[in-house]
Chain A
């Protein structure tokens, strides 16, 4: 750790242009932190500079090619003009071109304001941002953001007061022998937990059928029709795509599945939904580095219960909606009933391999 600090200080010293005497905090101020997005979270990258203007310019310039390769992105529209920046007291006034307010997606509009405010308030002695567009105060252009007062980092990051929601209990359906047989077969192949074989149809069974259909390349409707049943009868337990040792996870982007692996055996196949086009889940070998039982997505303003982050802001997390296709901002959505189990199975350090093509 101390070694790293020396390296940073040395690097900074080579960038500082002003004489040290005029800027007492120069070594730390020589880089600015730019708030970009990866998955469901803000990630910071360094750029040379020490002022709000430098930070905003760095933000407007967007991520570099190598950052983009890691699916680091920005919701600021390309070529947004910077009209004026000034700092008075601890308030930075940032005046941007009309392009900053283009588009109609609430997700994108709120995320770009969060990026701007978090970037500017990372500059020392800047506490809040007065946002101007084309020289005026934006009213209602950014859903949920009241720009008539200066925006603090807290105003764009704080989760709502209500806790993450507890789902309404489902009325269990009566058990049947046919469902039990289907569940048993799914459990034998690793698509259901053995303890989930109860004969009662429900979302868990549907999700397991979808997972099997994804694996077998069938239509993803969750209904065990003749084609699915035939494929189930002749199927064998999936095997890992990549060789490896120990407990690890493979995320298959083409099939929208997560394989939980112990040694050479796939212990569980999970129905997941990864990043939609333009928000692709980054391909590569990553390790779980942060776990949060109650995670809040700062840019997109949504709860992510049972989150296990494995690269930047990209995590496995529970989500109310796990459609059969890729739909997320880059994260790996997991159904509610499997989220907690997944959380316990992926301690910090767990290898997560994201694979684009598994066939």
Chain B
């Protein structure tokens, strides 16, 4: 591994021409695989694998990456998510679809530097006073979560509510219960909550904070991809110059990374 990386580095130093043309499957084009839909992240229109229209945070992010590598971007849609994290070869250069970095997946694909921390968020119903700012404050409320999720585990093990929590299977029913004041605070993936709130702001109260779980979304490549290092450089630049924060604000309605941590 180390030798390979060193060789790649030497090659890059010795041949500035290859630095100008990133190693993509089709020269000049960055082929990006998606697994639509996911509200806020990637939604659009498809005919088979052909993407007629795509929009969302990850679409803009992939477009930015391509732009900074001097490439044209093209998208294709895989009907099943698992195809994005199987071991290669693929006819695309990279995959982006809220892919969480896990040790199991890291054995089959290479990951970029993460572009989003997908912590758990806490969304309260309209009219909760005072606004809960801590785990202790949440403890006094009727807390709800989807059964069997990270959020559910956090309710049971971290929040340990004094009042009986509400666990349901269906997220849409939970959201309705929150709106209808049967539940005071919902614990779920922060980015998803941010998108839901943005789509129907008058149905919910504020997104009051996050509970870190250290889940990270990253771009996936075939094992040994020579493109990865170049994409990482681009991603660091996109994060460094505020572009990523702006995209989060635009598509998620709030920069979930800036939500206060509830302790």
How many residues in B have their beta carbons less than 8 Å from beta carbons of A?
A: 30
CB atoms of B177 and A165 under 8 A apart: yes
CB distance from A275 to the nearest CB of B (A): 14
Q: Mark the stretch among B37-45, B61-69, B110-118, B146-154 that contacts chain A.
A: B37-45
Q: Mark the stretch among B8-16, B100-108, B179-187, B230-238 that contacts chain A.
A: B179-187
In the bound assembly, the distance between CA atoms of A144 and B52 in angstroms comes to: 21
Known A168-B142, A321-B202; contact A136-B36, beta-carbon cutoff 8 A: no
B173 interfacial contact with A, CB 8 Å? yes
Partner of B199, one of A138, A143, A168, A321: A143
CB atoms of A136 and B47 under 8 A apart: yes
In the bound assembly, the distance between CA atoms of A164 and B47 in angstroms comes to: 39
CB distance from B36 to the nearest CB of A (A): 4
B70 interfacial contact with A, CB 8 Å? no
Partner of A139, one of B77, B126, B198: B77
In the bound assembly, the distance between CA atoms of A137 and B44 in angstroms comes to: 8
Partner of B45, one of A106, A137, A166: A137
Chain B residues packing against A (C-beta within 8 Å): 36-39, 42-47, 50, 52-53, 77, 126-127, 142, 170, 172-173, 176-177, 179-182, 198-200, 202
Chain A residues packing against B (C-beta within 8 Å): 98, 101, 104-107, 133-141, 143-144, 160-162, 164-168, 302-303, 320-321, 327
**B interface secondary structure, majority:** mixed
CB atoms of B172 and A144 under 8 A apart: yes
CB distance from B227 to the nearest CB of A (A): 26
Partner of B43, one of A106, A140, A160, A321: A140
In the bound assembly, the distance between CA atoms of A248 and B47 in angstroms comes to: 57
Known A98-B53, A140-B36, A168-B182; contact A107-B126, beta-carbon cutoff 8 A: no
In the bound assembly, the distance between CA atoms of A320 and B127 in angstroms comes to: 10
Considering only CB atoms, which chain B residue lies closest to A303 in the complex? Answer: B180
Partner of A160, one of B36, B38, B172: B172
CB atoms of A141 and B52 under 8 A apart: no
CB atoms of B45 and A133 under 8 A apart: yes
The list of the 7 closest CB pairs from A to B, nearest first, reads A140-B37, A140-B43, A165-B180, A106-B199, A136-B45, A139-B37, A136-B52
Extra contacts besides A140-B39, A167-B182 (19): CB < 8 Å: A98-B45, A98-B53, A101-B45, A104-B198, A107-B200, A133-B45, A134-B53, A136-B53, A137-B47, A140-B37, A140-B44, A141-B45, A160-B170, A160-B176, A162-B177, A165-B180, A166-B182, A302-B179, A320-B181
Known A105-B199, A106-B200, A162-B173; contact A136-B181, beta-carbon cutoff 8 A: no
